[in-house]
């Protein structure tokens, strides 16, 4: 039973910026509900709501919860809610915004990391709903709290938490407009280094160091395009963070230099838990600096993780984030190229499914109040990502950072990319990977992808072929699997190896286009991988299509995500012409998604290659698909591929246009921006026409 809160509305609520409003429950001053971890800075209502503002939450309170309710009209579609399994359309679902590592325990006692479409929460916390009305206009809703929050979308939108919270509403004339304003409010990702857009090979784990070298040689000898090899926890001394096993990895700097010499980058993992072992310098420093969280009795909290009994850094403390940053900078002296942070929900290992108690205490500081883990659990991963991101920027001031995190919070795209956690080698998990990445993009995180092939279990050759076929088009493209399995592209025989090589070859040819879309995402907050309804938000037929997807605005990807012969896709109106990438020679395998190009567009394609650097140089091919009036346009973005020269103007943004004149296709540069010199190269043109 709940009671409506009918007191006069707080004077602290109102318009934050054009199209963005903040609401607080009656009787609770806005300052009492700060700080916001989602927004860039602390937003404040600057003026009263304008006449005609339609979306208002109504507030109620029960004995154990506060609720904000927002009604919706018929034919309204709901999306977002972050990292969730199941379908793209979120109408009728209930999501618990609580970062959690899910497990399944088999009848024989085997513990398997797992989730399904009934999972109310996964590794990330995004208290956000994107609402698209029948006419294509949209608004977004943020439940601005770090506490556990329920998003109930069964009848309208109900946000429920045990503590009072603010609500932010973003109005827009389209879902794209709303996401762009979300980027203004919560920040956008930094433009990543171009190598991070290449294919990446990982396993739990590749060890010892000679195995890493062997893998690098094998990838190159087999001509599998690949940019990154990942190093999981077995490089550590007894799984102690910031250490190296003297037998398995006696010289990590030499390992990284070997990879660099062969055209690879490396990403190494860090876990937050610190082994509670006196004499271990990281633990001793943590104790001396007061860097670990404490239980409700004031004692150091410990839990069982990979190294055994371990303590957890209190990232709410500025001094602790600095300590973690300094340790990471020292670690990076071994010349790794990126950092991977895991188990940062945070998650103990034993017993399976256990969590850090909500009564654990955080000290805070620097504008973050002291509080319980109930308050800071959801932002633990984001605060760790922030400190790790700062470490990379300090250690490599002339290079763009790359951090991958398992847990994050709304706005955490400013600090790290993400993957979708420990999935399973099953057709269901392949099918869910597409709407999961789409909804992460619709929640402000453009740079994400699943473990290609599935982390737990061994996929059949057919399943792996289909997964790497579509995985080549995810924003983040990485194969990763457990200790028991092997999922190198050649592990499933020569036929699957050929499919993998061809699939990754398609990605590398598309890197000039993909990098251009990433630049748009970093600038505007729009997703890289987009739902089909973005092609026409007024077309209700498209609202539930979650197998096909768009890369940018102009390339439509049609994958087969199940064993059926073919999918019955719901496609946008207009001409979406089938397209073959220059020089590709695909077999007839259904593992290769069909590609279609939007009429009126120009897509840049490169020569491909074994690395992203190769793929971004050499001849450029413009794929031209004219509209009904005989015109087309498209953009190509180029810069150094790494570093920050582009911020000072060292980039080239070219707008090409095409039209038919006297029966000839004429390409011209419509506009250009930036101070970077145009490279000397051959520019080819392929005119994509309707199939006969």
Point out the residues that are catalytic: 342, 345, 422
Residue 208 CA to chain centroid, in angstroms?
A: 30
**Which of 397, 572, 556, 422 is closest to 482 using CA atoms?**
422
Q: What CA–CA distance (Å, rounded) separates 567 from 570?
A: 9
Burial code (b: 16+ CB inside 10 Å, e: under 16) for 168-197 equals bbbbbeebbbbbbbbbbbbbbbbbbbbbbb
Residue 471 in tokens: 């995985």
Q: What CA–CA distance (Å, rounded) separates 125 from 96?
A: 9
Q: What CA–CA distance (Å, rounded) separates 258 from 244?
A: 17
Contacts of 31 (CB under 8 A, 6+ apart): 12
Cβ–Cβ < 8 Å for 469, 439: no
Q: What CA–CA distance (Å, rounded) separates 310 from 308?
A: 6
Residue 565 CA to chain centroid, in angstroms?
A: 30
Q: What CA–CA distance (Å, rounded) separates 686 from 672?
A: 22
Q: What CA–CA distance (Å, rounded) separates 496 from 468?
A: 10
Residue 314 in tokens: 């209190």
Residue 281 in tokens: 């310098």
Contacts of 300 (CB under 8 A, 6+ apart): 276, 287, 292, 293, 294, 311
Q: What CA–CA distance (Å, rounded) separates 487 from 36?
A: 41
Burial code (b: 16+ CB inside 10 Å, e: under 16) for 232-263 equals bbbbbbebbbbbbbeebbeebeebbebbeeeb
Cβ–Cβ < 8 Å for 654, 635: yes
Provide the 3-class DSSP secondary structure of residue 214.
helix
**Which of 346, 316, 336, 345 is closest to 392 using CA atoms?**
336
Cβ–Cβ < 8 Å for 590, 485: no
Cis peptide before 208 (omega within 30 of 0): yes
Burial label, 305 (beta-carbon count in 10 A; 0-12, 13-18, 19+): buried
CA dihedral 668, 624, 548, 581 (to 10 degrees): -120
- DSSP strand pairing (200-201 vs 478-479): parallel
Q: How many CB atoms lie within 10 A of CB 425?
A: 22
Cβ–Cβ < 8 Å for 289, 314: no
């Amino acid at each position: 039973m709940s009671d409506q809160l009918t007191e006069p509305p707080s004077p602290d609520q109102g318009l934050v910026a054009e199209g963005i409003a903040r609401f607080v429950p009656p009787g609770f001053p806005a300052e009492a509900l700060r700080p916001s971890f989602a927004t860039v800075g602390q937003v404040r209502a600057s003026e009263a709501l304008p006449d005609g503002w339609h979306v208002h939450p109504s507030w109620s309170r029960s004995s154990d919860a506060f609720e904000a309710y927002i009604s919706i009209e018929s034919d309204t579609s709901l999306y977002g809610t972050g990292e969730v399994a199941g379908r793209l359309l979120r109408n009728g679902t209930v999501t618990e915004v609580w970062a959690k590592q899910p497990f399944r325990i088999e009848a024989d006692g085997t513990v398997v990391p797992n989730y399904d479409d009934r999972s109310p929460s996964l590794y990330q916390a995004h208290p956000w709903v994107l609402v698209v009305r029948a006419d294509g206009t949209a608004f977004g809703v943020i439940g601005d709290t770090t506490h556990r929050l329920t998003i109930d979308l069964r009848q309208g939108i109900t946000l429920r938490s045990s503590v009072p919270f603010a609500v932010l509403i973003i109005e827009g004339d389209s879902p794209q407009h709303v996401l762009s304003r979300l980027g203004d409010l919560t920040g956008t990702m930094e433009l990543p280094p171009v190598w991070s857009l290449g294919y990446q090979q990982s396993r739990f784990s590749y060890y010892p160091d000679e195995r890493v070298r062997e893998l690098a040689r094998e990838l190159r000898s087999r001509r599998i395009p690949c940019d990154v090899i990942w190093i999981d926890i077995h490089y550590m001394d007894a799984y102690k963070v910031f250490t190296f096993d003297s037998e398995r990895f006696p010289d990590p700097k030499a390992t990284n230099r070997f990879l660099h010499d062969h055209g690879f980058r490396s990403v190494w993992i860090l876990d937050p838990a610190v082994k509670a072992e006196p004499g271990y310098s990281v633990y001793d420093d943590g104790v001396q600096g007061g860097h670990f969280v404490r239980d409700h009795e004031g004692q150091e909290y410990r839990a069982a993780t990979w190294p055994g009994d371990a303590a957890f850094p209190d990232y709410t403390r500025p001094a602790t984030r600095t300590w973690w940053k300094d340790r990471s900078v020292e670690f990076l002296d071994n010349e790794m190229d990126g950092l991977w942070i895991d188990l940062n929900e945070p998650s103990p290992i034993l017993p399976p499914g256990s969590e850090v108690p909500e009564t654990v205490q955080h000290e805070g500081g620097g504008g973050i109040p002291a509080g319980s883990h109930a308050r800071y659990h959801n932002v633990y991963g984001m605060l760790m990502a922030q400190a790790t991101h700062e470490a990379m920027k300090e250690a490599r001031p002339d290079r763009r950072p790359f951090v991958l995190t398992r847990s994050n919070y709304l706005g955490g795209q400013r600090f790290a990319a993400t993957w979708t956690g420990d999935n399973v080698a099953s057709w269901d998990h392949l099918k869910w990977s597409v709407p999961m990445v789409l909804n992460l993009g619709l929640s402000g995180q453009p740079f994400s992808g699943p473990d290609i092939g599935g982390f737990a279990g061994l996929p059949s050759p057919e399943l792996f072929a289909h997964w790497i076929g579509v995985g080549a088009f995810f924003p983040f493209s990485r194969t990763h699997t457990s200790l028991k399995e092997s999922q190198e592209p050649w592990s499933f025989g020569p036929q699957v190896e050929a499919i993998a090589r061809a699939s990754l070859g398609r990605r590398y040819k598309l890197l000039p286009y993909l990098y251009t879309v990433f630049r748009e995402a970093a600038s505007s907050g729009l997703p890289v991988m987009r739902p089909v309804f973005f092609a026409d938000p007024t077309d209700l037929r498209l609202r539930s299509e979650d197998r096909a997807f768009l890369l940018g605005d102009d390339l439509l990807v049609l994958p087969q995500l199940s064993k059926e012969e073919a999918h019955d896709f719901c496609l946008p109106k207009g001409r979406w012409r089938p397209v073959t990438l220059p020089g590709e020679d695909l077999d007839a395998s259904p593992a290769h998604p069909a590609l279609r190009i939007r009429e009126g567009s120009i897509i840049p394609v490169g020569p491909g290659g074994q690395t992203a650097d190769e793929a971004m140089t050499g001849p450029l091919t413009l794929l031209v698909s004219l509209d009904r009036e005989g015109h087309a346009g498209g953009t190509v973005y180029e810069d150094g591929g790494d570093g920050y020269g582009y911020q000072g103007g060292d980039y080239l943004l070219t707008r090409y246009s095409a039209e038919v004149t006297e029966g000839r296709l004429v390409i011209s540069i419509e506009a250009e921006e930036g101070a970077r010199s145009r490279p000397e190269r051959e520019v080819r043109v392929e005119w994509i026409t309707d199939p006969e």
